[in-house]
A and B are shown apart, each in its own frame.
Chain A
Amino acid sequence: MSRNWTVKGAAVLGGTPRDLHVRDGLIVEAAAPDATVIDAAGLIALPGLVDLHTHLREPGREDAETVLTGTRAAAAGGFTAVHAMANTDPVADTAGVVEQVWRLGREAGYCDVQPVGAVTVGIAGERLAELGAMADSAARVRIFSDDGHCVSDAALMRRALEYVKAFGGVVAQHAQEPRLTEGAQMNEGELSDVLGLRGWPAVAEEAIIARDVLLAAHTGSRLHVCHLSTAGSVEIVRWAKSKGYPVTAEVTPHHLLLTEDLVRGYDPVYKVNPPLRTKDDVEAVRAGLADGTIDVVATDHAPHPVEAKDCEWAVASMGMLGLETALSVVQQTMVETGLLDWTGVADRMSVAAARIGSLQGHGRPLEPGEPANLTLLDPAARRVIEPKALHSRSRNTPFAGLELPGAVHATFLRGTATVLDGKVVER
């Protein structure tokens, strides 16, 4: 297939339409003679999206997702790079496992897979994993996280923060005080009482974030807060940033749109960690994302096989799909509400994420000389989310049946189309 393209009349970052020329994987000044022309009138060109928080499940849970199926889903969602979380089986806590995941990503060819390394051996929260070996490996790991678990031991968290300074790393914390959330099933509040589900208090998240931003300040190390979900968490990060502490934060698409009210029917598709919160929390995270307190939208794409969700609430797995719907949810919650323009979307879904992950070649301006990692979005399209039509191996989307705006028309990874005319390109 062609690697040379002329994208005619795309609104780059939503601005005035112009032509983009792609040759040999780069954006160039002038069209190549054999360039394939794409009519991009009405489409918006964005730098290829970068996800800081994806669960690809391989190795270990290939029944839920593989690197191949997960990166196809990512491409369908407009992503050109994803960070693969470490809570696989075996855990990505050695150079060997992170290199395996990284290589599987390269072989699949749908988007760059940047492994996240575990902070502790087996994400057990007891001993530091070989962070340096993972950083030095072919995968060049820069983000370390025990995601799914919180590094709750304050001394261990301090050491991890200090240690990753040696290679410019960042510790991404899943903020969840374990004792305050034992058996927790949903957001703690009036509704958890009504439903008889053990509550997950906001303070369990906020207490860890408050502690960690102070540790980051004390050590001068980079902290990244995963999927924050409460108004109080936004306030703490806002305060930390006002002090100049080296702290970044992410929010998921589902926390931008959905509230705990959906739990009423006990349908486990809405069971997620951190839990869906209240309307006030949703408003606060939107405002935080708009004013830059929250740096990025990260999907926390968490595929699960059907049997893990088609059961009673208490035993269901936590997590939701996110890669194929993220851009649409951001369009609805942030762009159509006037909270962000498309430049802001490019920043929160690509530029800032590539910067936090120290990812080369992604999140770059769509200018000559840059790698041709880009996404073409049809913002006028509307689609009803149909689980069967998703590319993920799993079906646990909370947006099933919802009509969302926007559809990815094309995705290019270094000049190679991974999605064209809205369809994932077979290879």
Chain B
Amino acid sequence: MTGHRSHLLSTADLSADDATLILDTAAELARLADRPIKKLPTLRGRTVVNLFFEDSTRTRISFETAAKRLSADVINFSAKGSSVSKGESLKDTALTLEAMGADAVVVRHWASGGAHRLAHAGWIRSAVVNAGDGTHEHPTQALLDAYTLRSRLGGLDGRRVTIVGDVLHSRVARSNVRLLATLGAEVTLVAPPTLMPFGVEGWPCSTSYELDPVLPKSDAVMMLRVQRERMDQAFFPTEREYSRRYGLQAERMALLPEHAVVMHPGPMNRGLEISAEVADSARSTITEQVANGVSVRMAVLYLLLGGSEPAIGTEDEGERR
């Protein structure tokens, strides 16, 4: 990420120093939100393309806001209809972006490795930010989660974070496990055995099939979204059984220590993995996560494209104008 690296593809690529620099930069940039004009000239003249092969309005708007606050030109490019029979679409789209002179491409792709391929196939020269690829990674989500945890808990080293739900299909879980481990947190995954990754023994975390024993020892619990179609594929018997065994309701939340927080990457299935009461409680960081997402994405774009100047200069042209 820092120095010579020109992409953000995976949290596995981030050292503790890299990640801390991003979080510190995000904290600095977050101060901007308190100013009357929420804009910096840092990336003026640069072009950031949001290339979305999969719908995600939330993530796209977050990146768009981040880029615009840094004065970059933003192009939203939605490339849907990339079916299994049309493999050339990523390459062709990449060549188009190259011709348009994109400086950074924020890519959301339905296939694992989509962002990696875009960065390394030799099709383009711009920086690539992975905004979620298949069931692989979603590094900026993990960074904003880490940012949220750090600001709520005062630090990550030695903190215990429990991630609950469909770990198998979750890029958020994958990215979080790696990043949190890198930053010194102890992660426990809780899921039914069918939704636990096959080779999870090799991951830097512990695992449990039961939620209740883990909660009293958790400083934070992160609930993952459950796709309802998993039920049809026999990953669990019924929604009711899932909700009973792995859902977070008020009675279960009471097992958490006083200071513990509840997270969710959104969008939520209220009543399935999380009850409305929990989602709207004071412990929930869900809206905070959204706000932090913009700061973290500003930091990522800034560090990839902005060079070596401080993120917020003393000469603040954005305010002068």
CB within 8 Å of B: which residues of A? 185, 188-199, 201, 265-266, 307-308, 310-316
Contacts and interface: CB of A to CB of B under 8 A. Distances in A.
Interface stretch (B80-88, B260-268, B304-312): B80-88
A208 B184 CA distance: 45
A228 B83 CA distance: 30
A127 B121 CA distance: 43
B111 interface: yes
A199 B117 contact: no
A-B pairs, 8 with minimum CB distance: A196-B136, A190-B199, A314-B111, A315-B87, A266-B113, A311-B87, A196-B112, A193-B197
A311 B199 contact: no
Given A196-B134, A265-B120, A314 B114 contact: yes
B113 A314 contact: yes
Contacts of B82: 315
Contact of A310 (B113, B121, B171, B198): B121
A201 to B, nearest CB: 8
Contacts of B200: 193
Contacts of A308: 87
Contacts of B174: 193-194, 196
Contacts of B12: 194
Interface in B177-197: 197
B203 A307 contact: no
Contacts of A191: 199
Contacts of A201: 198
Interface string B245-274: 000000000000000000000000000000
B86 A197 contact: no
Contact of B134 (A194, A311, A314): A314
16 contacts: A188-B198, A194-B12, A195-B113, A196-B133, A196-B174, A197-B135, A307-B87, A308-B87, A310-B88, A310-B121, A311-B91, A312-B90, A312-B109, A314-B112, A314-B113, A314-B134
A315 to B, nearest CB: 3
Given A190-B202, A196-B174, A311 B88 contact: yes
A314 B199 CA distance: 21
Contacts of B136: 195-197
B202 A313 contact: no
B137 interface: yes
Interface centre among A190, A191, A199, by most B CB within 10 Å? A190
B113 A315 contact: no
The range of chain B's interface size is 20 to 34
Contacts, number: 86
Contacts of B202: 190, 193
Contacts of A307: 87-88
B194 to A, nearest CB: 13
Contacts of B113: 195-197, 266, 312-314
Nearest to B85: A315
Contact of A189 (B114, B133, B198): B198
B10 to A, nearest CB: 9
B117 to A, nearest CB: 5
Contact of B114 (A194, A198, A312): A312
B116 interface: yes
Interface in B115-171: 116-118, 120-121, 133-137, 171
B112 A313 contact: yes
Interface centre among B84, B110, B112, B137, by most A CB within 10 Å? B112
A264 to B, nearest CB: 9
Contact of A195 (B91, B112, B201): B112
A272 to B, nearest CB: 16
A310 B91 CA distance: 8
Contacts of A192: 198-199
Given A193-B198, A201-B198, 14 more contacts: A189-B198, A189-B199, A190-B198, A193-B174, A193-B199, A194-B12, A195-B112, A196-B174, A197-B112, A197-B134, A266-B112, A308-B87, A311-B88, A312-B87
Nearest to A185: B112
Contact of B87 (A189, A199, A316): A316
A308 B87 CA distance: 7
A192 B116 CA distance: 15
Nearest to A315: B87
A315 B111 contact: yes
A96 B84 CA distance: 32
A185 B111 CA distance: 11
Contacts of B85: 315
Contacts of B198: 188-190, 192-193, 199, 201
Interface in B42-93: 82, 84-88, 90-91
